[in-house]
Amino acid sequence: MTVDEQIKKQFEKLLVEGSHLRHCVLWQDIGGWATSALHLLGISFGTGSDYYRQFSQMIPMFMTGATRIGGLRNIISSAKDDYEAGLGVNLQVRLSGELLGDFVALAKQALSDGHKDVAAVLASAALEDALKRFARLNGLDTDGKSMQDIVGALKAKGLVGGAQKTLFETMPKIRDYAMHAEWGKLDPASVNSLIGFVEQFLLSKFS
């Protein structure tokens, strides 16, 4: 079962449980249900979403008797409909961004410690993985393709443009130097540029 399928199943489960709690008026009776619901809203829409904010605001209203569980359940029902319509957070994108962001953080630390070669390898690995993931998310085949091939395919589909498009001309070269241990062709400035490029790419495509 995919993460997406698990989330949809959890929405269904919470709605069924919520219908059984419709006569409850005390927080101690619905606290576990409400906590699970809030967690699900955070995962599926983000903690800055209207659904998460509205649900959070209604919890103290429930505790003071200003609203009943029906109001909370209605939010879950609406969120479920929107999620099934494809309006939720793309978890695959977000999780990919977080994973690759760890590589970027390690590359930054390595460069700061004076290990430019290690930093270059880490940043290059993050760049290649990010490009392949982004290409696959947009329906492109990456099997057996070089980074240059993937960059070309992304450009042809109009998935990268502007300054980013120009930088894509040079970043694969830096990556090749790093992955083929041509350390003499790398300097701290170029490695720092690579790290910065990967970081901006992740922010624009995986957040």
Amino acid type, 183: W
For residue 152, give Cα distances in angstroms to 138, 157, 185: 14, 9, 24
Name the domain boundary from 84, 110, 142: 84
Do both 102 and 159 map to the same domain?
A: yes
Question: Considering just the CA atoms, what is the radius of gyration of the chain in Å?
Answer: 23
**How many domains in the chain?**
2
- pLDDT value for 23: 77
Please give the average per-residue pLDDT across 106-114, as a whole number.
90
Residue 192 has pLDDT above 60, yes or no: yes
pLDDT at 3 over 80: no
The residue from 84, 110, 127 where one domain ends is: 84
Contact 89, 46 (CB under 8 A): yes
**Mean pLDDT of the region 7-36:** 87
Check whether residue 116 and residue 96 sit in a common domain: yes
Mean pLDDT of the region 134-162:
79
* Cβ neighbours of residue 35 closer than 8 Å, sequence gap 6 or more: none
Claim to verify: residue 120 and residue 187 sit in the same structural domain: yes
Indicate whether 115 and 79 sit together in one domain.
no
The CATH number given to whatever domain includes residue 127 is 1.20.120.330
In the DSSP assignment, the letter for residue 184 is: G
Write down the pLDDT at residue 74.
Answer: 94
pLDDT 10s digits, 49-92: 899 899 999 988 888 777 788 889 999 999 999 888 876 765 55
Whole domain around residue 23: which residue ranges? 3-84
- pLDDT surpassing 90 at residue 154: no
Which of 41, 66, 84 is a domain's end point?
Answer: 84
Same domain, 100 and 191: yes
Residue 9 sits in the same domain as residue 57:
yes
Lowest mean pLDDT segment, chosen from 30-39, 135-144, 189-198: 135-144
